Structure 1
Amino acid sequence: MHLVTTDPAARACPACGTFATRVKERIVTRPRDLSRGGSAVRIRWHKRRRPCRETACERASFTEQIAQTPARMHITERLRTACGQAVVDGGRTVVQTGRDLGPTWPVVMRATRAFAKQVLPETPPATEAIGIDETRRGRPVWKLDEDSGKWTLEADAWHIGFVDAIGGQGLFGQVEGRNATAVAAWPNAQPTWWSSRIRYVAIDLCATFRSAIRTALPHATVVVDAFLIVQLAQRHLADLRRRLTWKQHGRRARKGDAIYTVRKLLRRNAEDLTPEQHRTLTNELTVMGTYGKQILAGWKTKELLRDVLRLTYKHAHTAPALSAISAARYRFQAHCADHAFLPELTTLAETVDQWWDGIEAYVLTGITNAASEGNNRVIKLDARNAFGFRNRASQRLRSRSATTRRARREGVPD
C-alpha cells in the first residue's frame, strides 16, 4: 500500500508550530501496521520533508508526522496498542505476542508498560479489607561486596502481595522480602484516605505480617484465614497419628493395621462421614486400644475447633453471638486440657490462644484470605507460561496485570 499524508497538521513544525509552505525533498518510509485478513500489510509512506519558515526556530527542516506514527517511529500506534493489550488484557506472553503481531521483544515490552500505565490505576481502589500473602518468585540473588568481603542479598526469593479481600479487584501491589519492614512499607506509601478506610486485614499464621500490620495499619483488625487454622489442626492430628503408630508398631502403618484403614477418614469432616464410616472410624481406633483412643481424641479436637469456625454467618446462616463463640471456645479448650498429656493437642491449643483475636474476627466477619490464594495461582501460572522472569519489576507489572484482568473487564461497559 502506497500512502501520502493528507492531514494538514502534518505541515506544522514540531518545534515552533509554524506551518510550512514548501517541500524540501521526498522520502519513503516503511512503517509496520496490523495485519489485515490474516496477511501482513506492507506500507510505503511517501513523506515530505519541509523547511521551517521561522528563522528563530532551532529546526531547519522536519518530516511529516501524524499522531498514529510519530517522528522516527516505524510502528503504528495501533500496532503498539494491540501488542500491549495482548499481554495485559489477553494473557499472552511477550514472546508469543511478538510472534503473532511481528514486533520484537523489546518493542512489545515497551508497549506493554505503556498500555499497563494507561489501564492500571496509580492508586489502589478503595476497599475495607485487604489480604496479605507471599508467593515465591524464584531463587534469591546474592552479590559479593568487594570492600567487606560479605555476601549481601540483592534479590529476595519472595514477593508479598496485597489484594482486595472482598471486592474482587485483584492485586493492589507487591513488595520484595518477607520481613516486617518491607511489608509495612507498602501500606505506608499509600495515601492517607486509602489506608484510613482499611478495617480488616486477612493473613495467615505469620507473626511478621501481624507485626507489620500493627505498625502500618494500627486501626485495622487482623483476621486469620480459617483454612490455615483447619490445616494447622490437620497437621497436628497427622503428627499425633504418626507418633502413636510408631510407638505401638515401631514402624509406619501398613495395610491390615487398624490405623491404616482409617487414616483417610481422620482427614474427613464429621458432617461428611456417613453413619457407616463413623462407626468404622470409632471401632477401628477402639481396637487399637489406648493409642487408638488418643488418636480419636485428636480427631475430636480438630472437630471442636471446626465447630468454633462454623459459627460464621456463611455456615450458621445467622449472626454469631459472642456467648456462642465463648461456649464453643471453652469446649475446645476443656477438651485439650483433659488431654494435656498429648503434646500435639497442647501445642494446638496454645497456638489458638495466641491467635484468638484473629480467629474471633474471622468468626464475626467471615472474611478469608481466599483472594490472595487465588491471585497467587494466577501469578504462578503467568510466570510458568513465560518460562520465568528475570526482571523483578516486569514480573510485578505482569502479575498485577494478570490478577486485575477480570475486574477491568467487568468494569468496561458493553
Structure 2
Amino acid sequence: MSTHDTEINRDATRLLGLEGVSVTKVKDDGAGGSTVYVVTGEDSARACPSCGVFATRLKDYRTTAPRHLACGGRQVSIRWRKARWHCTEAACARRTFTEAIPQVPARMRTTAALREAAGAAVADGGRTVVQAGRDLGLSWPIVQHCFEVHAARSLPAEPAETEAIGIDETRRGKPVWKQNPDTDKWELVADAWHIGFVDAIGGRGLFGQVEGRNAASVAEWLALQPATWREAVRYVAIDLCATFRAAIHRALPHAKVVVDCFHIVQLAQRHLADLRRRLTWKQHGRRARKGDSIYTVRKILRRNKEDLNHEQRQLLKTELEHMGTYGKQIYAAWQSKELLRDLLHLAVTRRHVTPDHSTISAARHRFFSHVADHAHLPELVTLAETVEQWWDGIETYLTTGITNAASEGNNRLIKLEARNAFGFSNRTNQRLRSRCATTRRSRRETHPH
C-alpha cells in the first residue's frame, strides 16, 4: 500500500469518527449509502477480557456489521474484520475471545456514538422515542434504553441548591384502580395527579415529581432531599393550596410561603364572575342575553382598568347604572378587584423598589375598607377572608417578587411532552421524560458543547 493510499485511509478513519478501528476501503453500496471496511486499530483489543493478558496466538477472523451513524448525509454500513484469539494464560478459564473496543463492546451490534445520539435525540432534542428510532434505524426498546442511560448521566443526582422553589400539580392520564381480593375494596394504584418541584428563580427546571395530591407526598419528597439543600430554601411559591402550605410548614419550617400573584387575581376574577351571574339571574331570571346591559360590558369587567380607554370606562359605568342597584353592586365588585390589583402592583418586581410597611398597610386598608362598605355581598366577603388567611404569603410576594411562573411554564412543557408522545403508559418514564424536557435549557447552558 502506498504512502498516498495510507493517508487517504487515515482521513477516512477520522471522517468515520469511530475510535479503535482503521478504515481499509470504502465502497458505494448502490442504494445511496456507503460500505466501510475496517480493521481493529488498537493493540488493547488483544487483551483477554477475563485475565487481561495480551494474546499472541490467532485462531481465525470474523466479520461483524455494527450499526453506526450516517456520515456526510449518507448511510454507513460497517464491515469490521476482527480477529479471534486464543488466551494462552493457563490460569484463565476463558479459552478464546474476539477483539472488542470501547466503542463496540463484545456482543454489541451498535456503536457507542449511535447509542449516544439516540439518547440525546430524546433527552435533549425533544424527539419522541418512536421518531428517534425511525431516524436512526433502531427499535423502540433500544432507543428507550439509550435514553435512560443518557438521562442518568446528564441529569444531576441531587437538586441544585436554590433560595426559592415552586410547587404545583399537573394532571395527565387517568387514575388506575385495583380491587383488593381480600377486602373487595377498590384501591388507588396510580394517581393521575403529579406534584412537581421546580427552581423558582434559577431557571434550572424540574427538580422532581411525586404522585398524589396530598401533604404527605410533598413532605416526603422534601424530607428525602439533602439537609444542606433544605436549609438553603428560604421561600416556597405555591398557589392557594392549604395542603401544600401544611406540608411546607412540616418539612421546611424555616421557609416562608409565597402566594403566586396570578392566582390571587384569578380568584378575584372568579368571585366577580360569580357575583355578576348571581345578580343577573336575580334581575332577569335567566342568563344575560344580547341587548342586556350586563351582556354589553361582560368582557370589559374582566379587563384591567389601566387597559381601558375613556370610552370603555364610560360605557362600563353607564351600562351598569342602567341596571340600577344590581349594576352598582357589580361595579363595586369590579372596584374591589382593581383595589386588590393595586395592592399587588406594589411588588418589588413592578416598582423596582421594595415597598415599605406603611405603603402596604395603606393599600391593604383601602381594599378591606371597600369590602366592609359592601359587606352585604357574600362574594366580596369571601374574597376578603381568603386574602386575610393568606396575607403572610401575599406580603412575602410584595417584598420579594417571587412567583410560581416557573411551575406553570414547566407544566406546559410536561403536557406538551406527553402530547407529543401520545400519552405515557409507564409513570416512571413519564416523570423521567418530564424532567429531561424541563431541564434542556439549563443543561445546554451548563454544557454548551
Normalising by the smaller structure, the TM-score range is over 0.9
Matched ranges for 1:13-412 at <5 A = 13-412=48-447
User: How many angstroms does 1:148 deviate by?
Assistant: 1.9
TM-score (norm 2): 0.91
User: How many angstroms does 1:308 deviate by?
Assistant: 1.0
In the aligned structure 2, how far is the partner of 1:98 from the partner of 1:413? 25
In the aligned structure 2, how far is the partner of 1:147 from the partner of 1:53? 62
Unaligned 5+ runs, structure 2: 1-35
Computed over aligned residues only, the root mean square deviation of the Cα atoms, in angstroms, reads: 1.0
SS of alignment partner, residue 247 of structure 1: helix
SS of alignment partner, residue 143 of structure 2: helix
In the aligned structure 2, how far is the partner of 1:124 from the partner of 1:317? 30
User: How many angstroms does 1:393 deviate by?
Assistant: 0.9
In the aligned structure 1, how far is the partner of 2:313 from the partner of 2:356? 30
In the aligned structure 1, how far is the partner of 2:297 from the partner of 2:234? 43
Identity %: 68
In the aligned structure 2, how far is the partner of 1:97 from the partner of 1:43? 21
Tell me the residue number matched to 2:31. none
SS of alignment partner, residue 419 of structure 2: helix
Q: AA paired with 1:340?
A: A
SS of alignment partner, residue 42 of structure 1: strand
SS of alignment partner, residue 74 of structure 1: coil
TM-score (norm 1): 0.98
In the aligned structure 1, how far is the partner of 2:419 from the partner of 2:171? 12
User: How many angstroms does 1:413 deviate by?
Assistant: 4.1
Q: AA paired with 1:251?
A: R
SS of alignment partner, residue 167 of structure 2: strand
Which protein shows a greater Rg? Answer: 2
Unaligned 5+ runs, structure 1: none
Q: AA paired with 2:59?
A: K
In the aligned structure 2, how far is the partner of 1:34 from the partner of 1:336? 68
In the aligned structure 2, how far is the partner of 1:413 from the partner of 1:46? 37
User: How many angstroms does 1:389 deviate by?
Assistant: 0.7
Larger deviation, residues 225-234 vs 262-271: 262-271
Q: AA paired with 1:263?
A: R
In the aligned structure 2, how far is the partner of 1:150 from the partner of 1:254? 49
SS of alignment partner, residue 414 of structure 2: helix
Q: AA paired with 1:89?
A: D
SS of alignment partner, residue 232 of structure 2: coil
User: How many angstroms does 1:412 deviate by?
Assistant: 2.4
In the aligned structure 1, how far is the partner of 2:351 from the partner of 2:386? 25
In the aligned structure 2, how far is the partner of 1:314 from the partner of 1:126? 23
User: How many angstroms does 1:205 deviate by?
Assistant: 0.6
